[in-house]
Amino acid sequence: MKPSLKQQYADTIKRKAKDLGFLSCGIAAADFLEEEAPKLEQWLNEKRHGEMAYMENHFDKRLDPRLLVPGAKSVVSLLFNYYTPETQKDPEAPKLSRYAYGKDYHYVIKDKLKALLENIREEMGEVGGRVFVDSAPVMDKAWAARAGLGWVGKNTNLIAKQTGSFFFIAEIILDIELAYDRPVADHCGSCTACIDACPTQALTAPYQIDGSKCISYATIELKSAIPDYFKDKMDGWMFGCDVCQTVCPWNRFAQPHQEKEFTPAAGLLEMNKRDWEELTEETFKKVFSKSAVKRTKYAGLTRNIKFLP
């Protein structure tokens, strides 16, 4: 493919992504993640993934998208904003991560990715590809960083200068060559706000996280009883945790999302501490029928609430 055509196709994809509501879009060559390979291996060997056994699966596929999509040549990374300045009204209520206020992002974003892939095929002919949103062994942050959408910060989240980090990351892996973007510089500087603020010391050093100590892990991924280690360290969180993002100076640039599907479920932000403590399975099903919170199930959420002081 001619260089000019590669650029033209890349520009078209980015324009269509913007039309679909994506915050930004970048493209990297589908290749082996050489830098990430030893880091991932060490992280797994040190059991930093806790009970997330699935992290041990598909090690090779995690590091090479060509094993996920035969003939893959390009990884199109996309960011989708979920930031909202809205918060729960009762300061004493158990806290819910912002990303879970509205409809489950998997469905919302996957629909948009499918529309984008369909559009790519309309514009460029028979293009092979697959869409991914947090549902396969794809190293989202590594690919987004390669595609120039931001840098992986000291809190191990992807951070973008213009928009912060309150966004989802998704990919379309394609079997055509495109014009590729370049990584951007790290702008964390000497700041350690996220490390200093982490309630459980899960950020063990700059750019390093012990997933088994993370509140998000304890409240979402962990299926067994919450370890005593977390006692009095939960900072009030019952599902997820936003601390390392909230304190990040770059999130002062975060703008409210424009996605109506992410509007908080009716009455969700008004629920007080007592409402949560007396939560019934019927109410859980009603409030979270289309929410990512369903992942922890009623038993998991009530376990989390009871664990809080």
Q: How many CB atoms lie within 10 A of CB 97?
A: 21
Which of 144, 141, 171, 157 lies closest to 250, judged by CA?
A: 157
Please check whether residue 168 is in contact with residue 105, taking contact to mean a CB–CB distance below 8 angstroms.
Answer: yes
Pairing of strands 74-81, 167-174: antiparallel
Pairing of strands 237-239, 95-96: parallel
Q: Which of 134, 186, 235, 275 is catalytic?
A: 134
Edge-first strand listing for the sheet containing 129-132: 24-29, 74-81, 167-174, 129-132
Which of 290, 297, 244 lies closest to 266, judged by CA?
A: 290
* 134 is annotated as an active-site residue: yes
Which of 210, 206, 213 lies closest to 191, judged by CA?
A: 206
Residues annotated catalytic, as ranges: 134
